[in-house]
Homo-oligomer: A and B are copies of this chain.
Amino acid sequence: MRGRQVFMDSLMAHGVDKIFGNPGTTESPLLDSLQNYPEIEYIVALHEGIAVGAASFYAQASGKTPVVNLHVAPGLGNGIGMMYSALKANSHMIVTAGQQDNRLRLRAPVLGHDLVSMATPVTKWAVQVEWADEMAAVMHRAFKVANEAPAGPVFVALPINVMEQETENCAGASSQMYAAPHPDLDGIAAITEVVKTAQSPAVVVSDDIARAGATDDLVALVEAMGAGVWFEAIRHHSAFPNRHPNAKDILPVDAAAIRGALHDADLVMLIGGPFFEEVWFTRGAPFPDGSKVIQIEESPARLAYNHPLDAGLVGHLPSTLRAMAQALQADSGYQAQAKSRNTALASQSVEAHAAYQARAQRAWDRDPISMPRVMAELNAGTPDNAVVVEEAITASL
């Protein structure tokens, strides 16, 4: 069989159902193969940035691994900005680009370049398939690396001659992978003791919670702690229901301001980061002086990356948060304290909402129109099943 068949079989074996692309000559072997794979839809975008951005959002929304198909160096180059975004968003996806015949590599052919060097800064792994015999192995590893936590894009360059080369090495995918480890029970016990010493715990949450499907377990943990929940400023998902009485605000984007927002906390628990994606440099740590700092992550790479911790814990987030919640729920004395904090948080939430409404009402008839009224009018006029795409990041900070 040819390299391009192994490529397409690899996509099928890994559950790919969408290719987002903007192809040219070097992608013709892939295009020629599409008719034999009607399960895979090829969606053409008029600019590479759109193809990459659409794939990243498809990965986030569907959980499936999408493929992007770009055209040699200019096409890949046009996609680099959105590949950076996909890397920061931890989108599991495979970005491919056709490459000129690799027997031309020393002769700087038209549109050709060192594609792997171009893609390396914005991917978890970048590789060129140099002969058809390694197509199956490259694609198998590409899907593995893209999907491992923290997830992110992988780049694969596909020389046009390699796609047409013959090989006997078939595509393959691993089947049952048990890669969601339970946390260290000693860690659960030790961290539970630290948490119990806190009078005013704060939890800071980010996207990995939603991606791991751990929101329900997070709610149980937060209620068992009697903790307020803060949101990392840069996020793609809803990690915690923002109308829950324990929900506080989006954190600001510099260390001093974060420290100010969390000033009441004597313990800060970070879950599902990275923490923190700052915009401005300010001096000092983002935590109140003397507070304990705990972090819980799916991947060791996230843990203690930016800040020294008092304790850290790695584990599949649903089972880890559930184990933490159960350990705290088992202590009835602690639960009485947590319940009293939850009552106070609920009152604060009602007060904060009322204060916001009062501010909005005071400015209701202002000309030009106030932003709270804009939001209220939009809210009133929007059906319940509307999808809101928020791209007003600067205004929301």
Contacts and interface: CB of A to CB of B under 8 A. Distances in A.
A152 to B, nearest CB: 13
Interface of A is mostly: helix
Given A78-B78, A277-B108, A113 B101 contact: no
A192 to B, nearest CB: 29
A104 interface: yes
A276 B78 CA distance: 25
A101 B280 contact: yes
A82 B47 CA distance: 13
B84 A161 contact: no
A278 B25 CA distance: 13
A274 B108 CA distance: 9
A107 interface: yes
A73 interface: yes
A15 interface: no
A218 B82 CA distance: 45
Contacts of A117: 120-121
A107 B77 contact: no
Contacts of A77: 80-84, 122
A253 interface: yes
Contact of A110 (B73, B101, B109, B279): B279
A81 B85 contact: no
Contact of A103 (B85, B114, B161, B281): B281
A109 B25 CA distance: 38
A27 interface: no
Contacts of A49: 78
Nearest to A159: B281
Q: Which of the listed residues A48, A81, A117, A121 has the most CB atoms from chain B within 10 Å of its own CB?
A: A81
A74 interface: yes
A57 to B, nearest CB: 15
A294 to B, nearest CB: 19
Interface string A80-96: 11111100000000000
A101 B281 contact: yes
A234 interface: yes
Interface in A356-376: none
The 4 closest A-B pairs by CB, nearest first: A77-B81, A78-B81, A101-B281, A77-B80
